[in-house]
Structure 1
Amino acid sequence: MNRLLAFGLLFVLVGCQDNEHAGPSEEREIEPIQTDRVIDQHGEIENLELFQQFLKETAENKQTSLEMTRYTIEGAPIYWKVGFQEGQYNIEVDNREDNFGSKNIESYQCDELSKDVTGSLTDYNFKSCEGGFEINLLSVISE
């Protein structure tokens, strides 16, 4: 399915090179492949209830996991797997389908997932990570 999506994207890009005779373009929406993961398409979040369940279980110190797909501006999927066990988060970020990324799977360990609220924006950030940096997991706009 991913190869078909990549081939389709390549086909669209090649077709857009000669736009002398092209008519009006339509913006194509990316449809999520799975419904058992959180999908973040430029701030539009699907299956947010899965994320809320993950937060509840981590607050109760239960072993749990979360799968998420975040799309880049160009439309490439970045796959996230987050596991929580004994107070520690194990994070795997797969950006092999991102033409502008490092094209590998990166792993991190963090001790904290914070909730930072600024106005109507709530950022969920991993803190106390190996290397001393923070990682943004998800940003949610409340209405």
Structure 2
Amino acid sequence: MKYVIYLVMLFALVACGTASNGNGSDETPTSTDQNQMIGYVSKFENNRVLVTENYIASQTEEIPIEELYEQAGNAIFFNLENIDKEVRDSLAIGEKITVTHGPIAESYPAQSSATDIARVKDSDHDLIETHGEYENLIHLETFRQAVQNQQVSHLRLIRHTTEGDPIYYNISYDGNEFNISRDSRKDSYAGSGDIMNGFTCKQLENSLTEENNIRFDFTSCDQQEKLSFEVPYVEIMVPKQTYQSLEIIVGDQKILESDDKEKINKVIEKIRTGTPKSVMIMTKMAPAGELVLKGEQANIRFDFYKDGNLIRYNTFIEAGITVD
């Protein structure tokens, strides 16, 4: 019965096609073409890539295949032998792509051969920077937390040029180091020898700049090329998401625990408007405990001092949080 259901899903895919325009546009295409599929990279196997209609929350190839298929929606295994090696090597689990392909073999997952692969902006899961403005900073936070815990994770960053062309960075962490690839194929001003590049870095460091931005640097890289970007302090200290509760813990005691939205919002406002200072240029006693904002996608933790001030991202924040 499951096999019959899978075949029905496959025929729906072949009959309806998948929206794409195939011209490398940064926006999700809207025209219909039966020889193209927009989806997410979900698995690699023997020079093939599995592309699924639905985003798979788990970013590991170890997810059981039955569970993968249950979450996938439409799914096609694409042979990559006709794709340039630089593009093949830069693909990462979880990213959104458009695949131009040949005929589809009837099975589930379906099978075909890719003739071209282009990246597509994913407004829900990409970290997007446009002339200093950021979208989806919560994904930078969840990526950084995974790195702190030495967990395998992936982040795709899109940076727009002055002219508005997207440059894609795949940042994959394997529990030990960062594998970074840059795709500038859609940059109309990129040089012919500067379209695709990949490099490896050992560290992710952050610091407060004089402009009150948090600067992220990938360092100890195996090439001269590095990756750095700056995020406004007020946006990254408490990234946008839904926050359900607040805790302040000192020692073994919770001196504050609340799910009152008004109280949570007041604390967030004090943090965002607090005065930041780099902890690298000051001496500070050990914190008394921690303040935790529990969010829908990630919990945000601060070192907490009894005077109500905080530390996070190597930044001391004069917030003046009071405990009522």
TM-score range, shorter chain: 0.7 to 0.9
Once the 2 structures are TM-superposed, how far is the Cα of residue 89 of structure 1 from its aligned partner?
Answer: 0.1
The alpha carbon displacement at 1:95 in A equals 0.5
Determine if contact 1:127/1:133 at 8 Å carries over to the other structure: no
Closer/same/farther in 2, CA of residues 134 and 80 from structure 1, 3 Å limit: closer
Greater RCO, CA 8 A, separation 6+: 1
Match of 2:23 in 1: 3
Q: Deviations over 1:103-138 (max 9, x none)?
A: 5211010001110211311111110001355321x2
User: 2:217 is matched with which residue?
Assistant: 125
Counterpart secondary structure, 2:144: helix
AA paired with 2:223? G
Q: Is 1:48 the counterpart of 2:137 in the alignment?
A: yes
Q: Secondary structure at the match of 2:207?
A: strand
Shift of 1:2: 6.3
Aligned to 2:23, what secondary structure does the other structure show? helix
Equivalent residue number for residue 186 of structure 2: 97
Question: May I ask how many residue pairs the two structures share in their alignment?
Answer: 117
The residue type equivalent to 1:109 in the other structure is T
Q: CA deviation at 1:33?
A: 4.8
With the length of structure 1 as denominator, give the TM-score of the two structures: 0.74
- State the secondary structure of the residue aligned to 1:92: strand
Per-residue CA deviation, residues 68-105 of structure 1 (Å, 9 max, x unaligned), is 21101110000111100132000011011112223521
Corresponding residue SS for 2:143? helix
Distance 2:152 2:208 in 1: 26
Give the TM-score of the pair, scaled to structure 2. 0.34
SS in 2 for 1:54: helix
| Equivalent of residue 125 in structure 2, options 3, 16, 36 | 36
Structure 2 counterpart of 1:115: 206
Task: Give structure 1 stretches of 5+ with no counterpart.
Answer: 7-31
Note the alpha carbon deviations across 1:16-63, whole angstroms, 9 max, x for none: xxxxxxxxxxxxxxxx65321111011110000001000000011101
- Structure number with larger C-alpha Rg: 2
Quote the Cα distance in structure 2 between the aligned partners of 1:140 and 1:60: 22
Worse-matched range after superposition: 100-109 or 49-58 = 100-109
CA distance change for structure 1 residues 33 and 84 in 2, over 3 Å: closer, same or farther? closer
Large movers: runs of 4+ above 6 Å: none
> Percent same amino acid at aligned positions?
24
